[in-house]
């Protein structure tokens, strides 16, 4: 059974440790803030100048002046702070972010990521992605294993313009958790009720499958 976007976010939330400073990209990554495990305290940072974001607000409780870098309304946690973009990018470029979670259109088996542009289509721009991939030492990608056409997004080489080179450490898709190694994608976990053959079929890049692959624990 393939994971939903919320379940992907829930699995990624398990990667966080107390005291981490975390940047969440747009798309699936923004959902991670809703699933911080009990007892874990992290600080979510957004490029537009917020440190200390909480879960998304409930319907009717949105404050249009409180948004993340993806223009989504957010809630502040007690002690949250606000600052200008220059200071925000200073945090990123100064390597003060412990974990970065990004969405992607493609990831190569060497850890390259393409997540900002499809030639011929209008995009909002690079945003903070270029700085994040150049400065962050722990990058996890949250994405679907295949695109809407059924084509693999885990490739031997990205076909779209690159955002960063050899920077991704781990990928969580609707089918599996995979680590980037020198030999390609290493399957670490599989989604519940998912067969290894499904993961193999959906992966275009080099894939390493151990003899035993545990099932993801989402609870």
Q: What amino acid positions are annotated as catalytic residues?
A: 47
Q: Euclidean distance between the first and final Cα of the chain, in Å?
A: 16
Contact 205, 113 (CB under 8 A): no
Cα separation, 67 vs 161, in Å, equals 28
Find the helix or strand (DSSP H, E) in which 113 lies: strand 113-114
Helix (H) or strand (E) holding 13: helix 5-13
User: What strands, in cross-sheet order, belong to the sheet with 154-155?
Assistant: 113-114, 106-108, 154-155
Contact predicate 168/107, CB 8 Å: yes
Instruction: Tally the residues of the chain.
Output: 219
Q: Which positions ≥6 away from 215 have C-beta within 8 Å?
A: 189, 190, 191, 192
Structure tokens at 194: 């998912």
């Amino acid at each position: 059974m393939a994971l939903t976007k919320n379940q992907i976010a829930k699995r990624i939330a398990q990667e966080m440790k107390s005291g981490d400073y975390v940047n969440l990209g747009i798309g699936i990554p923004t959902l991670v803030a809703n699933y911080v495990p009990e007892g874990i305290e992290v600080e979510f940072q957004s490029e537009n100048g917020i440190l200390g974001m909480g879960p998304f607000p409930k319907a009717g409780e949105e404050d249009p002046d409180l948004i993340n870098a993806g223009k989504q309304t957010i809630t502040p946690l007690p002690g949250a702070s606000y600052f200008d973009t220059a200071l925000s990018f200073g945090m990123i470029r100064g390597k003060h972010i412990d974990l970065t979670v990004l969405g992607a259109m493609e990831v190569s088996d060497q850890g390259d990521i393409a997540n900002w542009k499809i030639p011929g289509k209008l995009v909002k721009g690079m945003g903070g992605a270029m700085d994040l991939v150049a400065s962050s030492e722990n990058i996890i990608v949250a994405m679907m294993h295949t695109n809407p056409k059924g084509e693999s997004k885990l490739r031997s080489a990205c076909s779209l313009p690159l955002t960063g080179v050899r920077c991704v450490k781990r990928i969580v898709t609707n089918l599996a958790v995979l680590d980037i190694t020198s030999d390609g994608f290493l399957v670490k976990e599989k989604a519940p009720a998912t067969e290894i053959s499904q993961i193999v079929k959906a992966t275009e890049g080099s894939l390493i499958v151990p003899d035993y692959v545990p099932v993801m624990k989402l609870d």
